[in-house]
Amino acid sequence: MTWGDIKLATMQKMFSADGTEIPSDDSSKDYLAGMPYVANECLQMICTSKKYIVKSVDVNSVDGDQVGQFRRFRMKDLAEDFFEFYGEVYITAGNYHERCAEYRSEAQDVLLIHSDLEGIYTIYYRAYPPAVTAATEDDYSFDGISPDVLAILPLYMASQLYKEDDNGIATSLRNEFEVAYERLSQDNPSYILECEDEGGW
């Protein structure tokens, strides 16, 4: 679904319309203006709890800040959309490539790699969803976001935008959303990197 599809579906949820074009008259401009905020609110809620966006970033171990016997990488400097660690790190050195277990984390967004283990590290992480704005084009597609999430996004948006017009309809829409939200399967359990003792390598 594109951003235009989601806006149209949201209007259809509120007004039971069957049109194929997004209305642009005065009666709809306030709803359209409010859509980016409620869309971002919903996407962030779902993509940080139910349906994660998993991405990766590659780093050269020698580029990290030297801290004792470790190289330190701050994830938010490497990836602006970093939310939390996914729990998988891989090392590539020449023809050698395998999952790495010899790393630590601190302060939720800092990765420590032993300085003796040189190579290219691929760090997987859960990302915040991209934000939509008033300038987002209707043909914008939400890469990396599950179709299941996009399918229920209009329900949430309509329930928030229509509260002052008809709270009964808004409540019904929100109830539909909550049922669908609970049915979303979580792709992976939460994974928290634990910091080990010095002898735990």
Of 98, 127, 156, the position where a domain reaches its end is: 127
Note the pLDDT of residue 177.
Answer: 95
Phi, psi of 172 (to 5 degrees): -60, -45
Q: Is residue 110 part of a domain?
A: yes
Note the pLDDT of residue 18.
Answer: 63
On whether both 74 and 119 belong to a single domain, the answer is yes
For 26, the token pair is: 């005065």
On whether both 25 and 63 belong to a single domain, the answer is no
- Do 182 and 148 meet the contact criterion of CB atoms below 8 Å apart? no
On whether both 67 and 162 belong to a single domain, the answer is no
Polymer length of the chain? 201
Note the pLDDT of residue 17.
Answer: 61
Give the DSSP letter string of 105-138.
EETTTEEEEETTS-SEEEEEEEEPPPPP-TT--T
Range of the domain at 98: 53-127
Per-residue pLDDT 10s for the chain (201 aa) are 999 999 999 999 988 666 677 777 777 889 999 999 999 999 999 999 888 999 999 999 889 889 888 899 999 999 999 999 998 999 998 888 999 888 888 888 999 998 888 899 999 999 999 999 999 999 999 988 989 999 999 999 999 999 988 999 999 999 999 999 988 865 544 333 333 334 343
Closest CA to 174 of 189, 196, 152, 144: 152
The total number of structural domains that make up the chain: 2
Q: Is residue 77 part of a domain?
A: yes
On whether both 36 and 57 belong to a single domain, the answer is no
On whether both 99 and 159 belong to a single domain, the answer is no
